Amino acid sequence: MKRYLLEIGIMAVIIILASTLHAKTDVEAQLNRLEENRENAEHNYEQYKANLDIVDSNLKEINTALKKLDVQKKTIDKSYKVLSKNNKVVDQSMLKLQKQIQDESKAIEAEEKQIAEIEAMIQKLRDNQSRRKNHILAYKKKIVELTDLKATWSERAQAVTELKTTVDTKHKEAVEQKKQWTAKKKSYKKEVGKWKKQMHLAERSHTNFKQIAD
């Protein structure tokens, strides 16, 4: 539309210049040209008026469009504010999530350290179990040895029991013999005293009798 108006303006200027250049000719020609200029001016008026109507129509459409655009702009501005607010909320949420990620990462590191300590403890317990199993095997072997030794000692105990029985029997017999011999000793001692006394009396009687006989 702007290009069309520019072409019309250029045409009007050319017509005016052309009429001015030929003004010095005869009057009739001048009148004819003036009539022509009037007609051209009228034509131009009609054209410009039509163009003005078109411009007014376009402006009306543009104003209507601007109103709609203003409404849309307000809606967009409102939406932008909402989006901006939402972006702030999202940014805050992201910061919070980043903080949570850091916290979880620290927790994971701490838990990994605990896992390592627990695994080390488990390994230590497994080593202890391995040593205890070896101890159990050694203890079982020792139990077998002690069982064999106990069996040997049982055999020896049997022999000792038999020997004890024999010794007890002999001891009992010896005690009985001692008792008997003690009784005999007492009896013999009494007889020895008795006969010793009789012997002294006999010797004395013999001596006395011998002295009398001599």
Per-residue pLDDT for 198 more than 70?
Answer: yes
Residue 181 has pLDDT above 80, yes or no: yes
Percent of the chain with pLDDT over 90: 25
More confident residue, 113 or 30: 113
Contact yes or no for 48/8 (Cβ under 8 A): yes
Residue 37 corresponds to which tokens in the numbers above? Answer: 């200029």
Least confident of 86-90, 188-192, 203-207: 203-207
Q: Flag whether pLDDT at 10 surpasses 80.
A: no
User: Does pTM top 0.95 for this prediction?
Assistant: no
Q: Is 14 exposed, middle or buried (0-12, 13-18, 19+ CB in 10 A)?
A: exposed
**pLDDT value, residue 144:** 93
Least confident of 12-26, 33-47, 76-90: 12-26
Phi/psi of residue 22, each to 5°?
-100, 15
Extract the tokens encoding 101: 């990620």
CB 37 within 8 A of CB 15: yes
What per-residue confidence (pLDDT) applies to 24?
46
Dig out the tokens for 155 from the structure.
């055999």
Cα gap 15→24, rounded to integer Å: 16
